[in-house]
Amino acid sequence: MMEKSGIGIFPGIVVGRAAVFNHMVQDSVEHALADDSSAELRSFEEARESVLSSIRSLKPATDEEKAMLGVYESMLSDPDYLALIRENITERRYTASWAVEAATEKYTAALAALGDAYFAERIADIKDAESRLLAAISGMVAEIAVTEPSIIIADYLMPTELMQMDRKHVLGLLLDGGGPTSHIAILAHSYEIPAIVGLGDISSSADDGSIVAMDAKDGVAVLDPDEKTVRSFRARRGIAIRNEAELRKEAEHPAITADGHRIHLMCNIEGTDGIEGAIAAGAEGIGLFRTEFLALKDFGSEESRAAVYAEAAKRMGPYGPVTFRTYDLGGDKMADGMDNGEANPILGWRAVRFCMERRDIFRSQLMSILRASALSPSVRLMFPMISGSEELLEVLAFLEDVKDECRKKGIVFDENMKVGTMIEVPSAAITADIIADHVDFMSIGTNDLIQYTIAVDRGNEKIAHLYSPLHPAVLRLLKYVADSAKKKGVTVSICGEMAGQAEYAPLLVGLGFDELSMTAHSVLEVRKRIRSLDWESCADFADRVLSLPDATSIENALREYNGKA
């Protein structure tokens, strides 16, 4: 029995079998002579077949990607390379992984000796093909396919890997890395999968198929639990399920403070499959539709995208606005073929920066949103990662061009469609008064705003304790944006994870936010909390908190306030 603790993402108590995946396979090469060379040869041949077929099933999006897959394929079919590997196994009695490693080393050394720049560049692709082969031999990653109910344990997961899994089999998620607002965490929350991140080395401590107990509310996972522990987790699970049923009853009530101040609660979704949950939670619209999640594997056509957007707008429209955020790709959300090995992708080629360079992609998405706007007045459009008014004006000018193109082509759209921007870069927050002159609404992305303001990577579990939503600098920015919006008569909301944490509700309401957007599950808890609050008292509290010197004092004041009010 071994207990591990990390950061709970979506609550849930589960006992189940572990399915362990580890992407870090390079270190697993065993330099020992094999006991059974024919088994090693079989293992190699099977791994080669499986890598080849997975490579052939990929659709290259760019010429560069096509060239890379070409290198993989020719490498895995090269008679000299294959002969060397087979010889290493049958004659030298190397293990399959050692045989691959040794043959690849010889091969790449020969290429490097040619002194040719083209061949030198191909070495990276060859090493990549090698690591796919090694992964398949070790059986550690290959395809992450979950075929029976399991608790997924992994070093890390890419959003696409979770999206591709059969989610009815995913009982829970335990990851070595990841911060509380990393996109994999947001996705787990959105899919309502009990999840804990930042568990250190759980993927190398857990055995595939072993029993695991997890309580994601407390951020605790127990590997190989004894019977007593399993009984205690199951008993707690029963209580948690009853509490959840109580919370669900909250969906029937509007979010009005005890002194009659109305707060509008909306939902964040990543696809149309989130709409049912949003309606069930009583959300008053979609404050953030993260459209990029539908584009990670395939952008789709203008028409197919417009149909998806229109479906979302039609279904959710009766409850409130549906806010399509244009592609926030980059960072930890790379579309196929987008990853160009940047040193700092979080500060790099992402969101509108990517879209304004790939105008073909951007134009096509804007057209789809405009088409959907003709079918429902609920459609709103929002830009991510805007850093200031100049960038915003460029993006707005491009939107005007696309609208003109629609007019010329006879494509109908809502001429009054509301257009807004996210405020998630400190420079945008500090100039919110200027930005407000050009938009209908602003929505604060606290996940990014916090990471950029205090220079703490939101996805890095090593510094997760420094990721502090209550830092006075963050609160001052929130206050400044709220005040600027009010002065300019522009709607303002928060759509970062902070909005969905019930303990922050008194502060956010007190700072002047009356629109909050979050995952469906959080709507229930936040609504319950808001109904217990007094708006005047929250405003006084927020005023008082703004004069405190640091996050710890603010946290203490908030804890005390939540204990009383």
Catalytic sites, residue numbers: 183, 495
The residue type of 403 is K
445 binds ligand PEP (CB under 6 A): yes
The residue number with the shortest CB distance to ligand PEP is 445
Q: How far is the CB of 432 from Mg ion (least distance, A)?
A: 16
Helix (H) or strand (E) holding 13: strand 13-21
Site string for ligand PEP, 421-440 (x = CB under 6 A): ---x----------------
**Contacts with ligand PEP in 492-531 (CB under 6 A)?**
495-496
> Residue 332: CB partners within 8 Å, gap ≥ 6?
158, 159, 182, 183, 184, 345, 346, 459
**Contacts with Mg ion in 197-226 (CB under 5 A)?**
none
For residue 251, what are its two tokens? 């969906």
> Which is nearest to 296 in space by CA: 356, 391, 392, 361?
361
> Residue 339: CB partners within 8 Å, gap ≥ 6?
345
DSSP, collapsed to helix, strand or coil, labels residue 21 as: strand
Which position has the token pair 């692709």?
125
- Residues in the chain, how many? 565
Q: Which of 43, 97, 190, 447 binds ligand PEP (CB under 6 A)?
A: 447
For residue 150, what are its two tokens? 């399991």
**Contacts with Mg ion in 529-558 (CB under 5 A)?**
none
176 binds ligand PEP (CB under 6 A): no
328 binds ligand PEP (CB under 6 A): yes
Of 448 and 514, CB closest to ligand PEP: 448
The piece of 58-66, 307-315, 366-374, 444-452 that touches ligand PEP (CB under 6 A) is: 444-452
234, 211 Cβ separation under 8 angstroms? no
Of 130 and 448, CB closest to Mg ion: 448
Binds 420, which of Mg ion, ligand PEP, none (CB < 5 to 8 A, cut-off by type)?
none
Pairing of strands 220-223, 150-154: unpaired
Q: How far is the CB of 425 from ligand PEP (least distance, A)?
A: 10
**Contacts with ligand PEP in 278-317 (CB under 6 A)?**
288, 290
Of 214 and 518, CB closest to ligand PEP: 518
CA–chain centroid gap for 34, Å, is 42
Which position has the token pair 């209550």?
470
Of 133 and 494, CB closest to ligand PEP: 494
CA–chain centroid gap for 42, Å, is 38
HEC string of 259-328 equals CCCECEEEEEECCHHHHHHHHHCCCCCEEEEEHHHHHCCCCCCHHHHHHHHHHHHHHHHHHCCEEEECCC
Q: How far is the CB of 398 from ligand PEP (least distance, A)?
A: 21
**Contacts with Mg ion in 420-449 (CB under 5 A)?**
424, 445, 448
Residues near ligand PEP (CB under 6 A) = 186, 288, 290, 328, 424, 445-448, 495-496
Residues near Mg ion (CB under 5 A) = 424, 445, 448
